[in-house]
């Protein structure tokens, strides 16, 4: 069997490695011509990620920074809630480097932008923007939230804008005064101004440097933005309005200054981090769920199938588990159709539950609330104890 995988990020790499482990031939086609890189931003880990990495017999040492606590700070800087919960915080770059290095170069083709595929009873043939084609028995769409595999072969549904954006940035550990370091560096920390949320946690420094004093602190500030505000935030200095997201270098200084200007609502600890962080970048929050995860010889995994708001911290864990379920089904089922049915039956309910949990956790930040359930969830997740208990955990699964 030969499997074509479109997208060479988390889901694509997990799928490639897990299928190869079962003796199946794979080729990954990645649109980007140069090696991907993740701006060093953080990813919370769960056993669901670590189990898959271990099953691939990859080295899980030095994967990230371990934290011990979860803390909420009030607007006056007082500690208003605290729980003990150990978690390993890694980064996109660290995971990507680990997975990418484990896949032979011949199985990973950069600069291949998928445009379309045709399938019949015996094979599926993908066509790329440079005019090249490739055929296989199965095609996996691991091409992320704007998946062309999904829209051209399975279904066309718009991404749903959640009504708020995330500002993200990194600050060097060295810039933290002693007291600030004591408050924040061993914890997933929160500030919860009305209708907003700032969170932060430590991650590795440049080059996966885990030495104390050389690490970084990752912050995410969720802020409501109705659609006209979003349009303004996605407009660059030349007046060009970007669709879905704006490349970080094009975010106008005035937009960043406006965000910094609102910092007084945050706990003083997070104001201090904002003062020393690198140039922040902006990510509008979307979510999405497919009605079907497969059609014929085509299957969707990772963000191509379900996009979960980041509060669940689920993107990479979901990608890894989707890939594991698909590899298992393909390797143990005689027909591709039956394998894809089994894969969907295993993963679709989980994707839906994750999307639902992300919506619940994010309701308190939405510019508008419509249903009774949204109002109830917004009230629930204004409470520090509920935020500490349910953010970045997959306990509900």
Ligand X SMILES: Cc1cc2nc3c(=O)[nH]c(=O)nc-3n(C[C@H](O)[C@H](O)[C@H](O)COP(=O)(O)OP(=O)(O)OC[C@H]3O[C@@H](n4cnc5c(N)ncnc54)[C@H](O)[C@@H]3O)c2cc1C
* Contact window for ligand X (CB under 6 A) among 109-117, 188-196, 258-266, 344-352: 109-117
Tokens for 197, please give them.
């949320």
Which positions from 39 to 78 touch ligand X by CB under 6 A, shown as an x/- string?
A: x-x-x-----------------------------------
Q: What are phi and psi of 69, to 5 degrees?
A: -130, 165
Give the C-alpha distances (Å, rounded to integers) separating 136 from 182, 258, 321, 325, 387.
Answer: 54, 51, 23, 20, 46
Closest CB 77 distance from ligand X, rounded Å: 28
Considering only residues 73, 92, 201, 306, which one is a binding residue for ligand X as defined by CB under 6 A? 92
Closest CB 189 distance from ligand X, rounded Å: 17
* Structure letter (DSSP) for residue 239: S
Coil/strand/helix, residue 320: helix
In the region spanning residues 137 to 166, those forming contacts with ligand X, defined by CB under 6 A, are 142-144, 148
**Euclidean distance between the first and the last CA atom of the chain, given in angstroms as a whole number:** 33
Decide whether 81 or 154 has the Cβ nearer to ligand X.
154
In sequence order, the 6+-apart residues with CB closer than 8 A to the CB of 379 are 364
Decide whether 304 or 388 has the Cβ nearer to ligand X.
304
Q: How far apart are CA 249 and CA 132, in angstroms?
A: 32
Q: How far apart are CA 55 and CA 39, in angstroms?
A: 27
In sequence order, the 6+-apart residues with CB closer than 8 A to the CB of 375 are 363, 369
Q: How far apart are CA 125 and CA 137, in angstroms?
A: 9
Closest-CA residue to 81 (of 190, 3, 200, 179): 190
Q: How many residues bind ligand X (CB under 6 A)?
A: 30
Q: How far apart are CA 86 and CA 392, in angstroms?
A: 12
Closest-CA residue to 321 (of 21, 55, 69, 91): 55
In the region spanning residues 266 to 305, those forming contacts with ligand X, defined by CB under 6 A, are 302-304
Q: Is residue 126 close enough to count as binding ligand X by CB under 6 A?
A: no
Considering only residues 3, 4, 5, 10, which one is a binding residue for ligand X as defined by CB under 6 A? 10
Closest CB 43 distance from ligand X, rounded Å: 5
Tokens for 100, please give them.
């990418």
Tokens for 40, please give them.
């060093």
Considering only residues 51, 113, 383, 390, which one is a binding residue for ligand X as defined by CB under 6 A? 113
Closest CB 305 distance from ligand X, rounded Å: 8
Which positions from 318 to 357 touch ligand X by CB under 6 A, shown as an x/- string?
A: -x--------------------------------------
Closest CB 214 distance from ligand X, rounded Å: 19
* Contact window for ligand X (CB under 6 A) among 24-32, 117-125, 154-162, 330-338: 24-32
Which positions from 25 to 44 touch ligand X by CB under 6 A, shown as an x/- string?
A: ----xxxx---x-xx-x-x-
Report the interface residues with ligand X, using CB under 6 A.
6-12, 29-32, 36, 38-39, 41, 43, 92, 112-114, 142-144, 148, 302-304, 315-316, 319
């Amino acid at each position: 069997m030969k499997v074509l995988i479109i997208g060479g990020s988390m889901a694509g790499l997990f799928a490639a490695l897990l299928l190869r482990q079962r003796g199946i031939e794979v080729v990954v086609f990645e649109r980007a011509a140069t090696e991907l890189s993740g701006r060093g931003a953080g990813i919370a880990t769960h056993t669901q990620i670590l189990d898959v990495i271990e099953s691939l017999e990859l080295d899980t040492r030095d994967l990230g920074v371990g934290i011990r606590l979860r803390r909420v700070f009030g607007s006056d800087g007082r500690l208003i809630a605290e729980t003990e919960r150990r978690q390993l915080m890694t980064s996109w770059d660290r995971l990507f480097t680990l997975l990418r290095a484990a896949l032979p170069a011949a199985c990973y083709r950069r600069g291949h932008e998928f445009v379309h595929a045709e399938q019949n009873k015996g094979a599926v043939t993908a066509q790329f923007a440079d005019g090249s084609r490739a055929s296989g028995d199965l095609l996996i769409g691991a091409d992320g939230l704007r998946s062309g595999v999904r829209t051209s072969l399975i279904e066309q549904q718009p991404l749903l804008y959640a009504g708020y954006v995330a500002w993200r940035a990194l600050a060097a550990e060295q810039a933290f005064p002693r007291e600030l370091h004591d408050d924040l560096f061993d914890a997933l920390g929160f500030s919860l101004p009305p209708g907003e949320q700032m969170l932060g946690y430590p991650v590795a420094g440049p080059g996966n440097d885990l030495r104390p004093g050389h690490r970084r602190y990752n912050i995410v500030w969720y802020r409501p933005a109705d659609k006209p505000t979003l349009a303004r935030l996605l407009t660059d200095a030349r007046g060009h309005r970007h669709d879905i997201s704006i490349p970080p270098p094009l975010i106008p200084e005035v937009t960043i200054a406006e965000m910094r200007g609102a910092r007084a609502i945050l706990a003083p600890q997070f104001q201090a981090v904002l003062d020393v962080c690198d140039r922040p970048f902006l990510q509008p929050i979307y979510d999405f769920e497919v009605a079907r995860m497969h059609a014929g010889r085509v299957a969707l995994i990772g963000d191509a199938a379900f996009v979960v708001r980041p509060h669940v911290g689920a993107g990479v864990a979901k990608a890894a588990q989707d890939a594991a379920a698909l590899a298992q089904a393909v390797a143990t089922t005689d027909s591709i159709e039956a394998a894809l049915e089994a894969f969907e039956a295993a993963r679709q309910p989980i994707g839906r539950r994750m999307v639902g949990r992300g919506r619940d956790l994010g309701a308190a930040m939405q510019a508008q609330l419509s249903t009774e359930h949204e109002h109830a969830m917004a009230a629930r997740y204004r409470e520090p104890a509920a935020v500490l208990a349910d953010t970045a955990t997959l306990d509900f699964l």
